[in-house]
Amino acid sequence: MSRLTRPPIRTLAALCIAAWLAIATPLHADLVILQYHHVSDATPPSTSTSRSLFQAQLDLIAAQRLEVVALDEGTRAAIRGDLTNRQQIAITFDDAYSSVLSHAAPRLLERGWPFTVFVNTDAVGRQGYMNWQQLTELAAKPGVLIANHSADHGHLVRRPGEAHADWRRRASNSLDRAQNALQRHLGDAPPLFAYPYGEFSAELEQLLEGRGWFGFGQHSGAVGPTSAATRLPRFPMANTYGQLATLGDKLHSRAFPVEAASLPDGVLEQNPPTLTLQLPGALSHHHMSCFASGQGRIETRWDEQSRQLTVTAPQPFHSRRFRYNCTHPTENGHYFWLSQPWLDQAQAPD
């Protein structure tokens, strides 16, 4: 090695320190998945994002210099913990409504941003939904994935009194028919599944796990190394939830550092339900904030010896789906974000 190319001792030392820091410093990035239905000013407000809000949301993502990635690759990388310091965003649409083609897709394609459309295949071609020709054209665009949202958009969790074999046949049939229709019409069907209504159970998760599919819900939070492949969170982006005032916190949120696979099956056994979390040493129970759907901020109980945080809402719930959301500040001014979805099958399906 010549004198000119040999790195000086001081540079070598600096390189060693940088390498040590890279190992010693915790990760500062995860994947945040956004979930849309309609992007329109003319569809039901509860499942719609107005055209102007959608544009403003995309502008904010761009202004924050966040990287928008494909859902399949982004999810795999986030679970592996490969994102290092680069927060990533993935964009998804459920139900393949016409407004996604007319209003949302052009805005995303002109930016070169990937996105995924989850299709309930029995509805394709019906009034208000894309048809197979449109889906085929969309699937041919760069970065667009068309994926499985069941065939019939059914409530796929086993019903009270439904025999296990009957349930398994019903759920498998809906998953298979959709996957086969995507394969037949589009020539490809990625191993990605969005639960209709965001409803899932441990049994349904096992069905997906057996197929090697990712399962995406409608509970909020980020995807990272502690996430479980069959209960992946997405932030709902309809008008009420997608407002800019809170979007920044969501875009920068981090996966909660508790193994998601250790969280309870959301199928309700008692009302109100109890969520117990084993907090890692880096988190303080003093900084935990927990909220319940419709009940605002709720009290938590802490057991110092076991480091267990227990969350139970004060009032029973009267809706079919509700959530406990808990946050804890990160070291750099953002939030670790956890959402536990619950499903009360005593309440009629919508």
Identify any residues that bridge with 301 across adjacent strands, giving them in sequence order.
310
* CB neighbours of residue 198 within 10 Å: 20
Which residue among 30, 95, 205, 344 contacts Zn ion (CB under 5 A)?
95
Nearer to Zn ion, 94 or 199 (CB): 94
Indicate the residue among 121 and 201 with the shorter CB distance to Zn ion.
121
CB atoms within 10 A of CB 313: 23
From 57-65, 86-94, 315-323, 326-334, span contacting Zn ion (CB under 5 A): 86-94
190 prior amide bond cis, ω within 30: no
Total of residues contacting Zn ion (CB under 5 A):
2
Q: Does 30 bind Zn ion (CB under 5 A)?
A: no
Q: How far is the CB of 118 from Zn ion (least distance, A)?
A: 7
- In the chain, % helix, strand, coil (3-state, to 5) comes to 35, 25, 45
Task: Pick the stretch among 45-53, 94-102, 123-131, 248-256 that binds Zn ion (CB under 5 A).
Answer: 94-102
The CA distance from 107 to 104, in Å, is: 5
Nearest alpha carbon to residue 222 among 94, 328, 95 = 328
Other Cβ atoms closer than 10 A to 275: 21
Among 32, 61, 94, 113, binds Zn ion (CB under 5 A): 94
- Number of neighbouring beta carbons within 10 Å of residue 86: 14
Q: 93: exposed, middle or buried (C-beta count within 10 Å: 0-12, 13-18, 19+)?
A: buried
CA-to-CA distance for 36 and 34, rounded, in angstroms? 7
Intra-chain end-to-end CA distance of the chain, in Å: 73
CB nearer Zn ion, residue 119 or residue 290: 119
Q: Which is nearer to Zn ion, 226 or 230 (CB)?
A: 230
Segment interacting with Zn ion, rule: CB under 5 A, options 25-33, 60-68, 90-98, 262-270: 90-98
Minimum CB–partner distance for residue 218 and Zn ion (Å): 9
For residue 193, what are the β-bridge partners? 148, 215
- Closest CB to Zn ion belongs to which residue? 94
CB-wise, 280 or 349, nearer to Zn ion?
Answer: 349
Q: Which stretch binds Zn ion (CB under 5 A): 93-101, 253-261, 318-326, 335-343?
A: 93-101
How do strand 300-303 and strand 38-39 relate by DSSP bridges?
unpaired
Pick 96 or 258: Cβ nearer Zn ion: 96
User: 36 or 256: whose CB is closer to Zn ion?
Assistant: 36
The stretch among 27-35, 95-103, 168-176, 332-340 that binds Zn ion (CB under 5 A) is: 95-103
Which chain residues interact with Zn ion by CB under 5 A?
94-95
